[in-house]
Amino acid sequence: MSGIFPPRDLPIRVEVSDHARLRARERFPGFKSARIVDEVRLAIREGRLSSKKPEGFGGTAHSTCLYAWTSDGERLYALKHNDDCLYVTTTVRRKVAA
């Protein structure tokens, strides 16, 4: 498993809310919510971070959030930020095409 996720060397801390962990477990059965920090860090390193919510995900976009998503586009993380931390507030699943 070495080399899949980046080393923890980003200049900002990533914290995950209990709500984000719960939603990850509900929306992705079998998903280990401990991976959220690694997926957010990898998204940042690979440029998958935006102030605009990507198309295809449910819920309301918030102007005060940043969004990071997985390389396969299945999971989206809403992030709040302050001077020293990115705080993952929820985990969202891509909408299923009707």
Q: Check residues 19 and 97 and name the one with the higher pLDDT.
A: 19
Q: CA nearest 36: which of 88, 95, 94, 80?
A: 88
Cα–Cα distance between 32 and 30 in angstroms, integer? 6
| Residue 2 reports pLDDT greater than 50 | no
pLDDT digits (tens, 9 = 90+) for 33-86: 889 999 999 999 899 999 999 888 877 778 889 999 999 999 999 999 988 899
With vertex at residue 39, the alpha carbon angle to CA 38 and CA 45, rounded to the nearest 5 degrees, is: 90
Architecture of domain 15-93: 2-Layer Sandwich (3.30)
Pairing state of beta strands 75-81 and 85-93?
Answer: antiparallel
Q: What is the largest CA-CA distance in the chain?
A: 41
| Residue 94 reports pLDDT greater than 50 | yes
